[in-house]
C-alpha cells in the first residue's frame, strides 16, 4: 500500500484539445505492447481507454518499470498529452487522437493472469464467469448493461416522482403470504418457533398504503420467490411496484404507458408511440394462442370448428361435439417441409399435450392432407380458405378444448416463426392484454385459484357471476406484453371487505385461514378503503430488453444460478451449529 498521485482525468476524457496538458490517469492495464524501444499501454477504466506511451529517453526508470506491467495491473501514470504521429490516430476511439507520454508510473496493485480475457467476446462457460464475477463485470458489455440499468432506475423514479407518486419502503421481514409455499422463511431468534417471510411482492402493504391515504405509491423493490428456477428467473428479483387510489383501469394503463415511453426514450432512445394497443385475453388466445402474444409477426390462429363440425373425420367432429375447437395456423412457404420435419412438428405438438397434429400442404392447386383418408377435399379447401392459406403454405391443425388447443397452436406459431425467420428484431411491440379470467380451476387442487391474485377485483358487471358461474367471471386485470414477454401486470383491487371475503370463499380459503393470513388487510378495509389499483413492472426483464441481453443474469450485478447458488461467494453455505441453536432450529 502506498500513497499515489490522484488522477486528474478519467481514461475516457482526454482529447486533442488537451494536448500539452500535464495529467495523471489511474486504471487497469488493458493491453501492453512492446514496439522496439517503445512500450504502449492501453489504460482502462469505466470511462474509456487512453493509450500511454513509455519511452526510454523520456524517463528511463518509468520505462523500466513499465516492462513489468501485465494485464489488469492497477497503475497511476503521470505525463503530458501529446498528439499521435501523423496517420496513427484511431478515429473509432474518442481518445484516439492522443497519447499520454509517461514520466511517472506507480504500480498500485499487481494482478494474476485472469482466467479469461477482459473483452466482450469470450468463449467460456457462464459458471466460470459467475465464479469470477468481479472480472466478468469488468467486461465493457456487462458494464454497459449495468449503466443502462442505473439510468433506468433514475428515469423511472423521476417519472413517478413527477407524477405525484410517493416512494415508500415496505418491509422485507414480513408475514408469510397466501402463496406461502414459495416463501423464503427467516426464523426469529427472539420469538421461538416463529418465522418471517421475505415478500413475493409487497402486495398487501401497498394496498394498506392506499387505505392509509397515500394516494399514489411507488417503489423499486426486491421480491423473492423460492421456486425451481427457470433460465430467466432469479430467487430475488426487482420490480417497480405501483399503486393508485380513486382510479380505474384507464388511469393505471396511462401512467404505465407514460413510464415505459419515458424509460425507453430517455435510456435507450427508442420512441414508443402511446397509447399501446389493447386486446382482451379472449382475443389474444383466439388470434395468437397466447395470453402474451408476440405481435411482431402475423401468422394468426384461425378457428374453423363450424367448417368441420360434421366432418367424417372423427378427430374433428368429436372435438367440436365435446365443446372443443378445431383450429390452425398457416406457416407461409413451409409446404416444402419434409416428412421428417413434419414428424418433428408432430412430436413437438404431442410434447405440448396435443393428441396429434393434422397438416395440409398447399402446392399449386393441390392440397395434401395428412388425414386425407378421412378429411374430404371439400373440407381441406374450406380450411385453407378459413386460414387464407395459399400455394406453398403449410397448415397445422390442432383439436381439443379451447384453452389447450389454442395454447399448443400458440407454441407452434412461435416455433414456426423462429424456423421461418419471420420475427423482425428491431420492433418494439407493446400490447395490453385485458379482461383475464378471474379464476381458473386447478385440477391438482380441485378448487379455483386466482389467475392474478386473490385481491383482484372482478369486472363490476361480472360480480353476479361469482354466485352463478364463477369460471365465467372476468377480472379487472391487465398485463403489458413486449414482443411476447409479460413485462408488467396488475389489476384494480377489491376494496370492499365483504367482496374480499366472498373471493376468499371461492378460492377455498376459509375464514380462519383468511383471518390468520391477512386479517389485517380485511380489518383495514373496515376503516374506509378507497377504490384502488396498481401494477408491477418486471424491472430485470425490462432492462434485459433495453440492453438486448439474452438472460436476466446479464443485467444483474450478482446473479444466482438456476439452482439458486452464488458461485462467487459460494452461498448458500453451512452455518455454525451455535447459530442454529440460537434460532431454535435444527437441520433434519
Q: Does residue number 128 form part of the binding site for its own copies (CB under 8 A)?
A: no
In the set 9, 44, 413, 453, which binds its own copies (CB under 8 A)?
Answer: 44
- Tell me which residue of 326, 325, 483 sits closest to 417, measured CA to CA: 483
- Rounded least distance, CB 331 to its own copies, Å: 40
Helix (H, G, I), strand (E, B) or coil at 100: strand
Strand partners of residue 32: 41
Q: How far is the CB of 216 from its own copies (least distance, A)?
A: 8
> Does 474 participate in binding its own copies (rule CB under 8 A)?
no
Helices (H), 132-239: 133-136, 140-162, 203-211
Question: Cα–chain-centroid distance for residue 578?
Answer: 40
Residue 209 and residue 241 in contact, taking contact as beta carbons nearer than 8 Å: no
Residue nearer to its own copies on the CB measure, 422 or 583: 583
Exactly one of 128, 352, 465, 564 binds its own copies (CB under 8 A); that residue is 564
Of 15, 67, 144, 194, which lies in the binding site for its own copies, with binding defined by CB under 8 A?
Answer: 194
Q: How far is the CB of 252 from its own copies (least distance, A)?
A: 13
The residue among 85 and 528 lying less far from its own copies, judged by its C-beta, is 528
* Residue 350 CB neighbours (<10 A): 13
Spell 403-419 as b/e; 16+ CB within 10 A means b.
ebbbbbbbbbbbbbbee
The set of cell numbers assigned to 145 is: 448493461
Cβ neighbour number for residue 527 with a 10 Å cutoff? 9
When asked if residue 577 is in the footprint of its own copies (CB under 8 A), the reply is no
Q: Per rule CB under 8 A, is residue 574 in the interface with its own copies?
A: yes
Contacts (CB under 8 A) with its own copies, residues 352-381: none
Residue that has been written with the C-alpha cell 402463496 in this structure: 179
Residue selected from 15, 192, 321, 447 as contacting its own copies according to rule CB under 8 A: 192
Residue 572: asked if its preceding bond is cis (omega within 30°), the reply is yes
Q: Is 227 or 306 the residue whose CB approaches its own copies more closely?
A: 227
Q: Which stretch binds its own copies (CB under 8 A): 81-89, 109-117, 280-288, 323-331?
A: 109-117
Does residue 490 bind its own copies (CB under 8 A)?
no
* Binder among 496, 502, 505, 551 for its own copies (CB under 8 A): 496
Residue 332 is classified by DSSP as T
Q: How far is the CB of 270 from its own copies (least distance, A)?
A: 21
d(CA 298, CA 517): 45
**According to CB under 8 A, which one of 21, 31, 47, 296 is a site residue for its own copies?**
47
Q: Whose Cβ is closer to its own copies: residue 188's or residue 346's?
A: 188
Residue (156 or 387) nearer to its own copies, CB:
156
460 binds its own copies (CB under 8 A): yes
Q: Is 172 in the site for its own copies (CB under 8 A)?
A: yes
Residue for cell digits 400458440? 410
489 binding its own copies? (CB under 8 A)? no
- DSSP letters of 448-460? EEESS-TTBPBPG
Minimum distance of its own copies from residue 472's CB (angstroms): 18
Residues 201-230 contacting its own copies, CB under 8 A: 204-205, 208-209, 211-215, 222, 224, 226, 228
Minimum distance between the CB of residue 329 and its own copies, rounded to whole angstroms?
Answer: 38
Residue 205 corresponds to which cell in the numbers above?
A: 402493504
- The nearer residue to its own copies, 28 or 63, going by C-beta atoms, is 28
- The 235-264 contact track toward its own copies, x by CB under 8 A, reads xx-x------xxxx--x-------------
For its own copies, the binding residue among 45, 97, 462, 554 (CB under 8 A) is 45
193 near its own copies (CB under 8 A)? yes
Q: Is 311 helix (H, G, I), strand (E, B) or coil?
A: coil
Q: Does 527 bind its own copies (CB under 8 A)?
A: yes
Minimum Å gap between C-beta 451 and its own copies is 19
As given in the structure block, the three cell numbers for residue 515 are 383471518
In DSSP notation, 479-493 reads EEEETTEEEEEEEEB
**Ordered DSSP codes for 337-398:** --HHHHHHHHHHHHHTT-S--EEEEEETTEEEETTTTTS-HHHHHHHHHHTT--TT-EEEEE
Nearer to its own copies, 31 or 84 (CB): 31
**Minimum CB separation from its own copies for residue 477, in Å?**
15
Look at residue 179 and give its three-state secondary structure: coil
Contact pick of 77, 198, 330, 439 for its own copies (by CB under 8 A): 198
Using rule CB under 8 A, residue 558 touches its own copies: yes
Number of Cβ within a 10 Å radius of residue 235: 20
Residue closer to its own copies, measured from CB, 366 or 579? 579
Q: Does 583 bind its own copies (CB under 8 A)?
A: yes
Residue 82 to residues 16, 60, 61, 500: CA-CA distances in angstroms? 8, 19, 20, 73
Regarding 197 and contact with its own copies (CB under 8 A), the answer is yes
Cβ neighbours for 162, distance < 8 A, ≥ 6 positions apart:
none
Rounded Cα distance, 225 and 237, in Å = 8
**Which of 23, 51, 63, 72 lies at the binding interface for its own copies (CB under 8 A)?**
72
Size of the site for its own copies (CB under 8 A): 135
Interacting residue with its own copies among 20, 86, 190, 230 (CB under 8 A): 190
| Binding of residue 167 to its own copies (CB under 8 A) | yes
- Nearer to its own copies by C-beta: 17 or 563? 563
Site for its own copies, residues 309 to 348, rule: CB under 8 A = none
Q: What CA–CA distance (Å, rounded) separates 563 from 9?
A: 43
Helix (H, G, I), strand (E, B), or coil: what is residue 171? Answer: coil
Bridge partner list, 535: 242, 490
Q: Is 231 exposed, middle or buried (0-12, 13-18, 19+ CB in 10 A)?
A: exposed
Amino acid at each position: 500500500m502506498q500513497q499515489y498521485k490522484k488522477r486528474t482525468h478519467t481514461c475516457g476524457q482526454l482529447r486533442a484539445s488537451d494536448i500539452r496538458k500535464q495529467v495523471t490517469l489511474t486504471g487497469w492495464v488493458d493491453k501492453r505492447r512492446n514496439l522496439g524501444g517503445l512500450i504502449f499501454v492501453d489504460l482502462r477504466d469505466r470511462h474509456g481507454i487512453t493509450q500511454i506511451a513509455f519511452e526510454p529517453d523520456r524517463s528511463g526508470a518509468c520505462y523500466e518499470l513499465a516492462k513489468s506491467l501485465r494485464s489488469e495491473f492497477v497503475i497511476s501514470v503521470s505525463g503530458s498529452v501529446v498528439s499521435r504521429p501523423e496517420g496513427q490516430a484511431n478515429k473509432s476511439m474518442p481518445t484516439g487522437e492522443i497519447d499520454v507520454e509517461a514520466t511517472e508510473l506507480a504500480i498500485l496493485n499487481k494482478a494474476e493472469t485472469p482466467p479469461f480475457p477482459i473483452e466482450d467476446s469470450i468463449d467460456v462457460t457462464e459458471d466460470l464467469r459467475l465464479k469470477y464475477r468481479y472480472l466478468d463485470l469488468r467486461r465493457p458489455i456487462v458494464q454497459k448493461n449495468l449503466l443502462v440499468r442505473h439510468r433506468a432506475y433514475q428515469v423511472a423514479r423521476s417519472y413517478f416522482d413527477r407524477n405525484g407518486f410517493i416512494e415508500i419502503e415496505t418491509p422485507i421481514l414480513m408475514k408469510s403470504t397466501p402463496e406461502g409455499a414459495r416463501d423464503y422463511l427467516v426464523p426469529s431468534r427472539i420469538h421461538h418457533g416463529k418465522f418471517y417471510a421475505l415478500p413475493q411482492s409487497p402486495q398487501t402493504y401497498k394496498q394498506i398504503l392506499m387505505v392509509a391515504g397515500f394516494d399514489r405509491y411507488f417503489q423499486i423493490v426486491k421480491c423473492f420467490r423460492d421456486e425451481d428456477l427457470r433460465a430467466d428467473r432469479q430467487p430475488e428479483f426487482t420490480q417497480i411496484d405501483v399503486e393508485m387510489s380513486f382510479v380505474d383501469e384507464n388511469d393505471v394503463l396511462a401512467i404505465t404507458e407514460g413510464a415505459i415511453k419515458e424509460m425507453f426514450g430517455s435510456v435507450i432512445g427508442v420512441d414508443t408511440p402511446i397509447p399501446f394497443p389493447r386486446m382482451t385475453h379472449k382475443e389474444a388466445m383466439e388470434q395468437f394462442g397466447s395470453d402474451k402474444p408476440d405481435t411482431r409477426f402475423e401468422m394468426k390462429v384461425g378457428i374453423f370448428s363450424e367448417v368441420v363440425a360434421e366432418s367424417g373425420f372423427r378427430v374433428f367432429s368429436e372435438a367440436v361435439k365435446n365443446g372443443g375447437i378445431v383450429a390452425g395456423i398457416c406457416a407461409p412457404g413451409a409446404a416444402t417441409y419434409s416428412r421428417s420435419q413434419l414428424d418433428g412438428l408432430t412430436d413437438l405438438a404431442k410434447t405440448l399435450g396435443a393428441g396429434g397434429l393434422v397438416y395440409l400442404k398447399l402446392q399449386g392447386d393441390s392440397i395434401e392432407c395428412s388425414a386425407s383418408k378421412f378429411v374430404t377435399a371439400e373440407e381441406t379447401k374450406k380450411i385453407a380458405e378459413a386460414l387464407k392459406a395459399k400455394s406453398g403454405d403449410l397448415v397445422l391443425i390442432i383439436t381439443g378444448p379451447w384453452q389447450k388447443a389454442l395454447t399448443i397452436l400458440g407454441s407452434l406459431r412461435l416455433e414456426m416463426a423462429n424456423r421461418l425467420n419471420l420475427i423482425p428484431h428491431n420492433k418494439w411491440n407493446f400490447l395490453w392484454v385485458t379482461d383475464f379470467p378471474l379464476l381458473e380451476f386447478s385440477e391438482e387442487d380441485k378448487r379455483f385459484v386466482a389467475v392474478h391474485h386473490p385481491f383482484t377485483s372482478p369486472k363490476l358487471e361480472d360480480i353476479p357471476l361469482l354466485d352463478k358461474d364463477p369460471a365465467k367471471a372476468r377480472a379487472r386485470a391487465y398485463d403489458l406484453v413486449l414482443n411476447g414477454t409479460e413485462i408488467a401486470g396488475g389489476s384494480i383491487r377489491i376494496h370492499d371487505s365483504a367482496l374480499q371475503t366472498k373471493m376468499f370463499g371461492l378460492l377455498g380459503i376459509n375464514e380462519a385461514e383468511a383471518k390468520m393470513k391477512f386479517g389485517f388487510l380485511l380489518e383495514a378495509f373496515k376503516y374506509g378503503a378507497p377504490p384502488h389499483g396498481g401494477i408491477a413492472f418486471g424491472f430485470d426483464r425490462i432492462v434485459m430488453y433495453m440492453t438486448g441481453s439474452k438472460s436476466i443474469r446479464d443485467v444483474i450485478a450478482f446473479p444466482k444460478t438456476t439452482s439458486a447458488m452464488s458461485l462467487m461467494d459460494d452461498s448458500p453455505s453451512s452455518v455454525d451449529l451455535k447459530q442454529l441453536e440460537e434460532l431454535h432450529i435444527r437441520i433434519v
